[in-house]
A and B are shown apart, each in its own frame.
Chain A
Amino acid sequence: MSKVTLHVDGRTIEVPAATNLLQALLEKGIDLPYFCWHPALGSVGACRQCAVQQLKDENDKNGRVVMACMTPCADNLHLSLDHPEAAEMRKAVVEFLMTNHPHDCPVCEEGGHCHLQDMTVMTGHNYRRYNFAKRTHRNQDLGPFIGHEMNRCISCYRCVRYYRDYAGGKDLDAFGSASNVYFGRASDGALESEFSGNLVEVCPTGVFTDKPYGESYTRKWDLQQSPSICGSCSIGCNLTVGERYGSVKRIENRYHGEINGYFICDRGRYGYQFTNDAARPRRARAKNGEVLTADAAVARAAALFKSGRVLGIGSPRASLEANHALRELVGAGNFFRGESKSCGELNTLGVEILSKGPARIASIHDAETADAVLVLGEDVLNTGARLALALRQSVRQEAFKMAAHANIPLWQDSSIRILAQDAKSPLYIATPAATGLDEIATRTFRDTPARIAALAQQIVHMLDSTAAPAAGLGEADTGLAREIAEALKQAERPLIVSGTGCGSAAVMQAAANVCTALAKAGKTPQISLVFPDSNSVGTTLMGGGTLDDLVHTVQSSKLEAVIVLENDLLRHMTRQAADNLLALVPHLTVIDCVATSATEQANLLLPAGSFAESDGTLVNNEGRAQRYFQTLVPKDCDIQESWRWIQQIARACGRDFGDDLDALTAACAAAHPKLAGIVNAAPNAKFRISGLKIPRQSHRYSGRTAMDAKADVHEPRPPQDRDTPLAFSMEGARNNLPAAEIPIFWAPRWNSPQSVTRFQQEINGPLKGGDPGVRLLAPDANARPAYHAAAMTENPGLCVTPLHHLFGSEALSARGAALQTKIPAAYVGLSPATAQKLKLSEGIKAEFEAAGVSMILPVRLKPELADSLVGLPVGLKGVPAIAPGTALKFIGIVA
């Protein structure tokens, strides 16, 4: 990247040429206030806050005021931030904004992490000369996630630029004009975007606030926070979790340059509420409801091993440490991955495709910059939402190309959008049902997984004529395949997106084949696969039989007990199958953080910590091991990390699994060569900065001694954290933190999420010290694996296809009150033609039978669904877990 020299108030700095003054100065750690600019949204020049004086040369004392965000960096530019004209302008702009902004900071949720507060202080504006009435607005009910207080608005236009331009939302807009601009919906109602929660962080003041946080509010500086990883899908977005009084209060985006950047989805932001549920299992107990002491419970579990064979069921949503501990406890041969055969096979295939090459594994950031994308089978918006937001940005590559051609700098957001209008780079989506990205797709293809695989095979044939063409494709589909192959060939950074979502090995294999064909054609293909759970890749790398193997073992051999780790069996098998299984199990021990069908039947229940109450390592869909850190230590209950329960059981059995996280992480890494890298996911518990741990509490944390005074006036000793370098304390090291272990993003004068620029190597680049996590998979770019055609058994009749819902298909997030308002009622999805054939219509209750299970569900018409498919929404209450592709029979209409 070429550099230029700037002269700023006597300082000489080197900055990248291809940027604007504001970004360059911020990157250098120079404080310059701004509002409308956002690192992910670019410059538009609306707020006029970032005024600096541009001087002709070193002798020029006058110069002129320019807006830093709209001025390109040029070599030998002389600037002054201290110049009285520029300083007066910056102060005046805040004074203008304050003519209408209320003085409600003391009762405003934004207070203390408000960018407007920070900028006001930064400009020095402290006395308002405006002494007239302020304009007022009526606020709207924007649904369960977002609070609305328009009177605080400073009209920076960031909300609509983010919501509409960046995230593709349609139901938030700017209305009115002059000093009466209104940002809201046409009428009250829940915001429709899956990414609405980011408004909370995008808004520089308290117009859009986190509603659940506001309903149980704590000042930012009073939160105890920890770095976390989202457990709601396989993408592994980085989060910051905040706690007070024993409850998780909010989740904020935690910047990761390769994954989530500045934005997360609403499932990730609001999916934490289950952890605050008072009805969660908190005490160890036996089946008859008998409450046990933790020690007694551990002793009972340990006793099982004395008398016979114990099987363990792991979990794709539990940490590697927990899974590994269980595997060690029961023995590798007795350990089963907590997923069905069909799911396990898909995960294994996915990991194999990623590991083998030749495709590079695309991060979210790579996906954003891909200039041609082919989606095969995956409804990305509902299975890996953050990736869908990235694909929305990928189609802008065409606009950036046009801008480069027209000499418009890439940060000139509005100019690029004007130039490009609706021009988009290629995005092809081939899925069984309509997706939320269709509106930005170049073309879509709707058919069964087998036909999607056939389309992909034809694309392979177009790219590599030695590969066989697909049989049975019509002229239109062959043409589409040719068009897609051409687009991928023309691209510099082609990306293939697929995953386990449509439940088809054929589709995933076809995605791999396209990558191989692209590599053979001289391209550098990238691949992104979406997996079902937050640790699917990790547990797949660990290995073990599936639940189907477990059923077989239970049926064929004598055993003493089964231990279920953080797993709701009904997510992976039908109730009938689960009941049949458990009937054969003499003793069931369940370690989980929520009540499930398994905990109901457990002979022994050990309450486990949720993500907020434990530490551990997860491996995301790119094979990146990431560590999440405990936010709080639950009080007055038996809740502890699931792996700690297992460590204690092991000890009671006379075995030593250690007594902290690091022991298990190291053991897991040693036992599984493919997981060897996980010890480097984050510095371990021994890590210190100048001998100090990293505090989870801010330096302004208040009420520490009063918090528990209603019960005990003595200040309790804070919990000790022997698992990580973080401390449940206000005291410790706050500077030069390792990127994976930053609990609080804060810098002097930067109290809002905007402080992130102080932690980045360059704006929008990696965090200082490198983005967190370790990539475990190293695909070989030179590999040219043979084309596999996974068996395509097309069912002659109707068969099941899974339909995913961002809100509802994931088990834990779906338990939260805010999210629940967004979850659709159970249904069965049919194409209009199939519905007509079966004499069904929208809303009619119909009975179907599949895999020996009967289900009665109301019909929802899915106009683009293939006629032979019956869509079953994944994870919705009342919808059985039936393997994709299972034949399904229509029984009749239910009156």
Chain B
Amino acid sequence: MLELLKQPWPWYTSGALIALIMVLLLFFGKTFGVSSNLRTMCTIAGAGRNVKFFDFDWKAQIWNLLFLAGSVIGGVIASTVLRSEEPLKLSASTITDLKGLGIIFDGGLNPSQIFGLDFITSPKGFLILLLGGMLVGFGARYAGGCTSGHAISGLSNLQVPSLIAVVGFFAGGLIMTHLLLPLIF
């Protein structure tokens, strides 16, 4: 059983379990949406004193912070008890495309060329990750949700605004992948 769980999980298992997580949280009286936690953290850090947007009762969001803490633990478990030694099965065309950008596929989940110590301690590398994160945080709050809140919770409830947001996620992703990444790397 453990050997089976250690292997990479197929997409249908993952998709079904993500839907289960959404239903579980509904059953707990909550809504699945991860990026709200970023706002909560800003509030805890004291952002509510100067900016009204952060002036709310964050204690009602403790459940979501616990969920987030759990997801970090989940990452630890996946990289230890459930670790797979197999290299990721990335499609050959992606490997070729990334090579064209100078990014070599190393078999891990994330390229050490971008997430390794050398790159992140260089000014360019640090700024790329910081700026990338800023775009995610700014965009998620502007759009009122991220992949979990819109693509999963919102689409499951047939919300047109969520569909618009998801189309936006893809538009931005395609622009970055095909137009900007060649300029950045």
The answer to whether A and B belong to the same complex is no
